[in-house]
Amino acid sequence: MAALHDLTALEQGDLVRRGEVTPLELVEHYLARADTVGAFVTSTPERAREHARRLGARPGDAGPLWGVPTAIKDLHPTAGVRTTFGSAAYADHVPDFSDNVVLTVEGAGMPSLGKTNTPEFGSPCYTEPDVAPPAVTPWDPTRTAGGSSGGAAAAVAAGLVPLAPGSDGGGSIRIPASCCGLVGLKPTRGRISAAPMYGDPTGLATAGPLARTVRDAAALLDVLAGRRPGDHSWAPPPPMPFLGACDRDPGRLRVARFIAPVITDSDVDASSRDAWEATSALLADLGHEVDDVAVPLPREAVATFETCWAVLTAMSPAPPGTEHLLRPLTRWLADRGRAVSGPEFGSAIARMRQYAADALVALAPYDLVLTPTLATPPPLVGALRDDADPAADFEAQKRFTPWTSAWNVTGMPAVSLPLHQTAEGLPVGVMLAARPAEEHVLLAASAQLEAVRPWADRRPPGW
């Protein structure tokens, strides 16, 4: 008989709906599982139990994930719960409010087991903060889970929660999804509200789901999607529920593909190239048209992106008197950001939007765009990090992730799918992007790929 954590999130939700398991029983099941992958910064078992007890009888309008446990990335302020933002400067910080992601998840009847691990202010693509052990992939605990949603991905991949929200400003959902063998979806810009702080004037970052299956990811996106009254912009409503899109025949799609790195010159590992080629062939076998295209963003766009990234880092100051606790990479990026004048920052945002517009026009004839997710399998813990030389650290991150940030610039939805593995059994993701506001197309195609090359039964050691 399958254990509860063997089931998908939707299957667990269905058990709750049928009265065969209670939300509290699900919470207790997951609380009993040991965190050996550095998934959590702060655990909240009593809060989760209390929430599960409060759920009581299932309301008639409850969604399919009602009663299913999850966890919240430590970048999301949560009222009454220690929220460190991955930084020793905020090691004892307890907010008095919750942001939209927390409120939405709680409102959907999903008890949170705690705060998942993230690097300082969500900046690096590895998760090795000073406030928690490194987040590692359960497929090989000597290797990184990626970042910045590394803790969320590690938790889902190790069966500590069935699914979890992450956030993504340059690949921070898709990178750990690839490292941990998961589905990781960055939605369209404006699909999920950034209330109440609205702290990203560039529009690069958004929340999104991490899950073991496409359907689970779609169900969590249905929970997270929507606008709040204070939102200054938002994506148009989808033509159907995202979960429903997974049951839809995508039809014959035009798929653009490229493998040339976007943001820097990288050596593309054979496993990433093989995964890209195999997925291209699979899409063609399914009846889709696959065409080679030029890289849609010029290399000149990279400096503009980096200017915006550095200013965003500078906008996350440490509390007075704790600046010395910030990591060398954070201080280096913040110094770069503070050196940018207001007009320079405004010009950088304008240039980035023009680069995005040009890319969107170039890709408009295509329903999907295929690239690898990462240049290599997950590196060893510490292999990217270089406290002695933050500039070298930053360049190593770029070489590892030369494609993901392109879709943050354009605002297009993008997903990493765990279609492949190395000979040693490490997960290798491939990435698909779609036109803005066309997550339903992306999910339909992703579900089609999962149906012919399923991965949910792959389980890491110690599962």
Residues 160-169: b if buried by 16+ CB within 10 A, e if exposed: bbbbbbbbbb
Q: Catalytic one among 98, 112, 123, 148?
A: 148
Q: Catalytic one among 112, 149, 172, 193?
A: 172
Select from 115, 124, 14 the least CA-distant residue to 65: 14
Identify residue 59 by its one-letter amino acid code.
P
| CB contact at 8 A, 143 and 378 | yes
Q: Catalytic one among 73, 115, 186, 398?
A: 73
In order of 111, 148, 169, 181, 378, the CA distances from 154 in angstroms are: 18, 11, 19, 10, 12
Tell me how far apart the alpha carbons of residues 171 and 184 are, in angstroms, rounded to a whole number: 10
Sequence-separated (6 or more) residues with CB below 8 Å from residue 289:
252, 253, 254, 255
Tell me how far apart the alpha carbons of residues 184 and 217 are, in angstroms, rounded to a whole number: 7
Contacts of the segment 269-275: beta carbons below 8 A, 24+ positions apart: 269/375, 269/376, 269/377, 271/376, 271/377, 271/420, 271/422, 271/426, 271/428, 272/372, 272/373, 272/374, 272/375, 272/376, 272/428, 273/372, 274/420, 275/372, 275/419, 275/420, 275/428, 275/429, 275/430
Helices (H), 20-138: 23-31, 45-55, 100-107
Dihedrals phi, psi of 275, to nearest 5 degrees: -65, -40
How far the first Cα of the chain sits from its last, in Å, is 15
In order of 162, 166, 233, 243, 455, the CA distances from 65 in angstroms are: 10, 17, 27, 11, 21
Query: Is 172 a residue of the active site?
Result: yes
Tell me how far apart the alpha carbons of residues 157 and 180 are, in angstroms, rounded to a whole number: 6
Query: Is 149 a residue of the active site?
Result: no
Query: Is 316 a residue of the active site?
Result: no
What is the set of active-site residues?
Answer: 73, 148, 172
